[in-house]
Copies of this chain bind each other. A is one copy, B any other.
Amino acid sequence: MKGPAIRELRITPIAITDPPLLNSVGIHAPYALRTVIELVTEDNISGISEIPGNEDINDLLLQAEEIVLGTDPFQLNQLKSKLFDRFGDQGSDVRGDNPWDDRKLIHVYSALEVACMDIQGKVCNRPVVDLLGGKCREAVSFDAYLFYKAKGAGGVFGYEVDPDATGWAAARQARAQTPAEVVAQAKSMCQEFGFTSIKLKGGVYPPEQEVAAMQALYQAFGPDCPLRFDPNGVWSVETSIKYGREMEGILEYLEDPTRGQQGMAEVRKALKLPLATNMCTTSFEDIPSSIALGSEDIILSDHHFWGGLRESIALGKICQTFGKGLSMHSNSHLGISLIAMVHMAAAIPNLTYDLDTHYPWQSEEVIKGGRAKFEEGKVAVPTQPGLGISLDRNMLNQLHQNYKDCGLKRRDDTTEMKKIDPNWEFKPIRW
């Protein structure tokens, strides 16, 4: 038995409006880049996926086309081994020092895997979650993901401000710099989406100021609201220990205070506080040293760079086996990624932490029916075949036009920051 093969691969780079969120290496550009992938089989079943937009990744997707065409979408092991045999020796394909992951091949395989799983679900007339072992929960919980916002509040770098906005729409335009402003952002986001846990992306201001923000959140939301804080690796080991101690009683976990498994392990030993990572343990190759060193308690999974949904399920089993926690990392994304995350998270028994998502920060969408709904901080697991979503072609075309117009080719928050502050420079450890 051999099912209908893939006859077409469509690669559509898009640019979505993104607010000027700050992080340890710079600032979000006015547009976040994503790439939408469509696979179409000989019998016209299509599958979709979404990955971080990057010209090099898109080039590799194009090179992979000749391997993809003619492939049965159920033969994922074969697809993976062909791709890695062909492109696996590109020595320059490394994660890099940024908060985001710049590897090409693993993103290409993930893009194809998710789209194939969407096709598989449609062929089988089952939601993707059912092909991953079935639902452990009916809906998946997310946290309120807070960001420091550019000094000039909204209205910078092409980010349009709506002066009539109210509620969250107004709050996400507002400046967020002081502890009180961070608390205001949190309250508005939690009210809008029903989130019951909070993460702050730090590494932007001096440690004292950011620790004060976490203390203010703790005061405002109380001990029943799990809090997370992420300096994105720019603290030294000493700084991580010093300021980590000040947050011992108030955090659910501290994410990537410093760089590298060795440094993380040193911090871990000194603190009574779980550590999480999406920077020092980001591939299966990193797992053995993570276990040996004890560099973190919780891995922040991300199917975009762990190799798709099935590999993420295996990561879940590894975490369960070794007593590590599992949560989920996010970049700026749209609904295709969100829904893929939901299917996968629903199928992992031990994914008990709320997931990160940038989703509240964007306002556009490429899936039919518009923006996904959060109820009490949760997104319901779709029950339709495959991912259970389909493309809004008008929106896809518009966002592709944005991509062509904006001129951005890859994420580079350091370069964006230099446009405002010419003295800004990337520093692996800032404090």
Using a CB–CB cutoff of 8 Å, the interface residues on chain A facing chain B are 1-3, 72, 74-81, 120, 123-127, 130-131, 133-136, 284-285, 287-288, 291, 310-311, 313-314, 317-318, 320-323, 347, 349, 383-385
Report whether A135 and B383 are in contact in the complex, using a CB–CB cutoff of 8 Å. Answer: no
- Min CB distance, A286 to chain B, in Å? 9
22 residue pairs bridging A and B, Cβ less than 8 Å apart:
A1-B125, A1-B384, A3-B126, A74-B126, A74-B131, A75-B135, A76-B134, A77-B133, A77-B349, A78-B134, A78-B135, A79-B134, A80-B349, A81-B136, A81-B349, A123-B124, A284-B317, A284-B320, A287-B322, A288-B323, A313-B314, A317-B317
From B287, B347, B383, A1 is in contact (CB under 8 Å) with B383
Chain B residues with CB under 8 A of A322: 287-288
Report whether A136 and B323 are in contact in the complex, using a CB–CB cutoff of 8 Å. Answer: no
Nearest to A314 among chain B residues (CB) is B317
User: Copies of this chain, how many?
Assistant: 2
Expressed in whole angstroms, the Cα–Cα distance for A314 and B322 within the complex equals 13
Nearest to A323 among chain B residues (CB) is B288
Report whether B313 and A134 are in contact in the complex, using a CB–CB cutoff of 8 Å. Answer: no
Report whether B130 and A75 are in contact in the complex, using a CB–CB cutoff of 8 Å. Answer: yes
- Min CB distance, A308 to chain B, in Å? 10
- Min CB distance, A220 to chain B, in Å? 36
- Min CB distance, A417 to chain B, in Å? 37
Report whether B124 and A126 are in contact in the complex, using a CB–CB cutoff of 8 Å. Answer: yes
From B135, B285, B321, A284 is in contact (CB under 8 Å) with B321
- Min CB distance, A258 to chain B, in Å? 24
If the complex has contacts A124-B126, A126-B1, A349-B81, are A134 and B75 also in contact, measured as CB distance less than 8 A? yes
- Min CB distance, A320 to chain B, in Å? 7
Chain B residues with CB under 8 A of A317: 284, 311, 314, 317-318
Report whether A130 and B385 are in contact in the complex, using a CB–CB cutoff of 8 Å. Answer: no
Report whether B74 and A134 are in contact in the complex, using a CB–CB cutoff of 8 Å. Answer: yes
Beyond the given A288-B322, A313-B314, please list 10 additional residue pairs across the A-B interface where CB-CB is below 8 A: A1-B125, A1-B384, A1-B385, A76-B134, A77-B135, A78-B135, A81-B136, A314-B314, A314-B318, A318-B321
Chain B residues with CB under 8 A of A318: 314, 317-318, 321
Residue among A75, A81, A285, A384 with most chain B CB within 10 A: A75
Expressed in whole angstroms, the Cα–Cα distance for A347 and B77 within the complex equals 7
Chain B residues with CB under 8 A of A135: 75, 77-78
